[in-house]
Amino acid sequence: MSGAMQDFATHPTNWLVILPVVLALLGGAVLLMLREAREAQFWLALGIVAVIFVSDIALALRVSETGPVAMTMGRWLPPFGISFVADLTSAVFALAAAGVTLLLLVYLRMDMPDRARRDGVYPLILLLLAGVSGSFLTGDLFNLYVWFEVMLISSFGLMVLGGRNIQLDGTVKYGFLNFLATTFFLAALGLLYGTLGTLNMADIVGRAGLANPAVMTSIAALLLLAFGMKAAAFPVNAWLPASYHAPPAAISALLAGLLTKVGVYALLRALVMLLPASREVLEPVLVLVAIGTLILGPLGAIAETNLRRALGFLVIGGIGATIAGAALGNATGLAGSVTYVLHAMLTISGLYLVAGLLEAISGETDTRRMGGVYAAASLPSLLFFVLMLAVAGVPPFLGFWPKLLLVQGGIEGWGFGRDGWALTLWLAVLANALLTLIAVSRLWAHIFWRPGHEGAATEAPNPDLKPLSPQVRWLGLGSAGVLTLVVLLLGLWPEPLLGFGKDAAAGLLRPANYIVATGLEGAAP
Amino acid sequence: MNSLIFRTIAPLLVAVMLVFSVFVLLRGHNEPGGGFIGGLIAASALAIYGMAMGVDAARTALKVHPLAYAGFGVALAALAGVLSILFDVPFLTGLWTIFELDEVEVAISTPMVFDIGVYFVVFGTIAAVALALEDEEGGA
Amino acid sequence: MDHVIAALSGVFLAAAIYLLLSRALIRMLLGLVLLGNAVNLLILVAGRLGRIVPPIALDGANAPSAGAANPLPQALILTAIVIGFAMFAFLLVLAYRTYQSLEADDTDRMRVAEPRGGPKPPMSY
């Protein structure tokens, strides 16, 4: 039996790969015990997430210097124990998730109803962060399923917190469909285990090529369905606009910024790294899904009058862009995918935060009755302007660079003579950029430039707008401003972003280092 | 539920079930049993108490909110895993210490602490759900 | 034996999908439970059936005896059952609360978040 046990000492820095998850779990647990001390809960939550953020920075630095970091639980050797592996993609995504959560905690302080605070919004946020970090950092597919469920149950809680009718309605749809998706994922896991006899990701890479390709492709198709549902890809996207606008703005931002991105991450990991041969077979499906999502998202946003529902459709459009990268499958396209995920995490969360501010200013959720915000509150308008150009991909803002990579990837794929798929994808990405620009500029015109309500005859300023209270101005505007600043700076100096995209895509396409770090070099192909 | 027989017998039943749940928890280390099933037994004991005496009485008997027990369990389980950082072994490695107590060998280990954590998590969550549902029944 | 369990899993799956296609929340919930059980059976079959030696190391031995059943699918199923149970409990409370607040268990009548006959898209600009 000792042959299956690790007999060398674990280096303390390897703990970095598990630390974000353990800290979030421990923090959530302690906060659950401190139910009554609501003020202390906030400060403690803020402190813990700050520590997680710092340890994520350390992990990302370590990974970028020395390559993937891994640790296998309980001194078992890799295929037997549950591995946690951080390559560049996981580490940077986990870092972005912690950063967004940190800012959201500050924002949340401005308008959280006391009832939600009593019912435990802070522990749930930490458990959600544990689920998200765990999903990014785990190196074992079954463990990924467990983190999905941790994430799911805490997001249920967050979404229904406060218990208004609209939230109950949204949560029912969100809950049933996402639970269905994870059950499909579980079914795919069962089949995968039955075929390969392993669920360790590094081990699967080595064995998937030797198995029956037809079986592998069916499993990959099931995984695509499950992760596509989690990511809200067309045609299984209906739950997202039905639910994400129901909870308070900060919670919407957290869910929209992190959860669908975990679905995309899992999709990239499973199809690109684990089952590359099946991805090639499924390429036509991926292309159709990507095109549908790319076009449907911004069209929905154009037709929508509820501000946060419109943003929900923009989330879907972004998911299309990330799937387009997976469908292209070349290094440039994948780099576009991973950088797009990073961009969407930051930009979409920022947009939802600003949407919350706009709702506070106008007291409305409907864009037709907002009107005239630019004259009343110029600073939130400025933030929205930067973020909306970023999400539409106008140079030199953040969203431009991932889309540039995707377009480049499309041209490369096309040039290499891979039938017409790459060309259609290329066109769809461009159409998506144009439609998104139309959608956000209409939002801009309706909310900010139009003087009053839709159809109002006067040019007088909208009388229903209220100035922000000092607390909201400092906390809400401050956290949304910091997030926007990050988006702005990353857009103006894109070298780190592009470097990350290139290295992360290389890591996904050629996972040799990942396998060695896990400790399975013997099984490497 | 307003039944004299049930109210009389319930405390006895609850006491026996709680002791049995701890027995199942500790036995689970090498034989069938364990934290999960122990926690379920303890939670059903509390549910019976709630049915007999009312949900308020059950909440008072717990002293703190059931989810706080769950939080304690998660913290305990996580700490049992983190302890291994002191011994240069990976997260969640089983660590053992055996001492003699009147010629009886008592083995204390981190898997056992972890299992006790599981016991509290299951007890806390199931008790919270059960009490919430019983509350609804009474309120409707 | 494998074939019987595999067929049973298929029957469960069919029943689950039939229930999930219903508009009543409680039927959908039962459908999800059945689906979970179908998947658990699937994992069991995928881990190969038929061996009868329990995977327990006997006293003094370091490994289970040869020909023991594969314990991993059982561990996976146990985890999945526990998680599925927690989800079921949550969704049950949620469905009940929704039924009380919205007075509807028919998803066609749950239109608070997405009002029926919503406004036309903004026409100006």
Nearest Cβ partner of B92 from A29, A30, A73?
A: A73
Q: Is the pLDDT of residue A479 over 60?
A: yes
In this model, does residue C20 exceed pLDDT 70? yes
pLDDT confidence tier of residue A134, bands split at 50, 70 and 90: very high
Asked if A172's CB is within 8 angstroms of C98's CB, the reply is: yes
Q: Which of B74, B82, B88 sits opposite A9 (nearest CB)?
A: B88
**In contact, A131 and A154? CB cutoff 8 Å:** yes
Instruction: Report, as an integer, the average pLDDT of A89-116.
Output: 86
Q: In this structure, what token pair is assigned to residue A425?
A: 């994808």
Q: Is the predicted pLDDT of residue C113 greater than 60, yes or no?
A: yes
Closest alpha carbon within chain A to B110: A74
Domains of chain C: 2-54+68-109 (1.10.287.3510)
CA distance to partner chain C, nearest, from residue A12 (Å): 30
pLDDT above 90 covers a percentage of chain B that reads: 37
Best of C81, C87, C93, C103 to substitute, by most chain A Cβ atoms within 10 angstroms, is C87
Rounded Cα gap, residues A374 and C56, in angstroms? 71
Residues of B in contact with C82 (CB under 8 A): 36
Q: Is residue A229 very low, low, confident or very high in pLDDT (cuts 50, 70, 90)?
A: very high
Q: What is the mean pLDDT of residues A133-149?
A: 94
Residue A482 reports pLDDT greater than 80: yes
Confidence of residue A117 (pLDDT cuts 50, 70, 90): low
Answer whether B91 sits within 8 Å of A18, measured CB to CB: yes
Is pLDDT at A119 greater than 70 in this prediction? no
∠ CA C58-C61-C64, nearest 5°, is: 65
- C96: nearest CB among B125, B126, B136: B136
Portion of chain A with pLDDT greater than 70, in percent: 94
In this structure, the strands spanning A83-86 and B96-101 are: unpaired
Distance CA(B139)–CA(A403), nearest Å, equals 55
Residue B140 banded pLDDT, cuts 50, 70, 90: very low
- pLDDT of B138 > 60? The answer is no
Q: What mean pLDDT is predicted for residues A196-222?
A: 90
Residues of C whose CB is below 8 A from B129: 89-90, 93
Task: Say what the pLDDT of residue A114 is.
Answer: 62
pLDDT at B1 over 80: no
What pLDDT was estimated at residue A1? Answer: 40
Yes or no, beta carbons of B90 and A6 under 8 Å apart: yes
Burial of A470 per CB tally in 10 Å (0-12, 13-18, 19+): exposed
Q: CA dihedral defined by A515, A229, B74, B17, rounded to 10 degrees? A: -120
Residue A522 has a pLDDT of 54
Across the range B29-37, mean pLDDT stands at: 83
pLDDT at A34 exceeding the cut of 70: yes
Residue with tokens 């529902």: A309
Q: Which chains have 3+ CB pairs within 8 A of A? A: B, C
Question: How confident is the model at residue A52, as a pLDDT?
Answer: 95
Query: Which residues of chain C are within 8 Å of residue A176 when distances are taken between CB atoms?
Result: 28-29, 32, 91
Whether residue C89 lies within 8 A of chain B, CB to CB, comes out as yes
Task: Please give the pLDDT value at position A525.
Answer: 40
Give how far A482 is from chain C: nearest CA, Å: 31
Residue A132: C-alpha distances to residues A3, A340, A415, B7 (Å): 33, 18, 38, 46
For chains A and C, CB pairs below 8 A equal 120
Looking at per-residue pLDDT, the higher value among A408 and A163 belongs to A408
What value does the mean pLDDT take over residues B65-80? 91
Q: Would the pLDDT of A524 be above 70? A: no
Whether C110 shows a pLDDT value over 60: the answer reads: yes
Beta-carbon contacts of residue A228 (< 8 Å; ≥ 6 apart): A236, A263, A267, A289, A323
Residue A490 pLDDT > 60: yes
Radius of gyration of the CA atoms of chain A, in A: 22
Helices within B1-65 (DSSP H only): 4-27, 35-53, 55-62
- Percent of all residues in chain A with a pLDDT value above 90, rounded to a whole number: 53
ipTM: 0.92
Q: Which residue of B has its CA nearest to A5?
A: B93
pLDDT at C121 over 90: no
Residue A20, chain B, CB below 8 Å: the answer is no
**CB pair distance less than 8 Å for C100 and B125:** no
Tokens of C63: 């490994």
Q: Do B71 and A6 touch (CB under 8 A)?
A: no
A12 in contact with chain B, both atoms CB, cutoff 8 A: yes
* Helical (H) or strand (E) element with B2: none
What mean pLDDT comes out for the span A210-222?
92
The answer to whether the Cβ–Cβ distance between B79 and A33 falls below 8 Å is no
Chain A positions touching C84 (Cβ under 8 A) are 183
Of A148-157, A421-430, B91-100, the least confident: B91-100
Higher pLDDT, B2 or A501: A501
Burial C69-81 (b: 16+ CB within 10 A, else e): bbebbeebbebbe
Question: Percent of chain C at pLDDT above 90?
Answer: 28
- Whether the pLDDT of residue A523 is over 50: the answer is no
Chain C residues close to A245, C-beta within 8 Å: 113
**C93 to B132: CB separation less than 8 angstroms, yes or no:** yes
For the stretch A168-206, pLDDT in tens is 889 999 999 999 999 999 999 999 998 888 899 998 998
∠ CA A20-A24-A26, rounded to 5°:
120
Per-residue pLDDT band at A338 (split at 50, 70, 90): very high
User: CA angle, corner A265, sides to A21 and A196, nearest 5?
Assistant: 90
| Domain spans of chain A, in order of start | 15-519
pLDDT at A4: 66
* Highest-confidence segment of A160-164, A351-355, A410-414: A351-355
Which tokens belong to A320? 């299309």
State how far the Cα of B70 lies from the Cα of A226, in Å rounded to an integer: 30
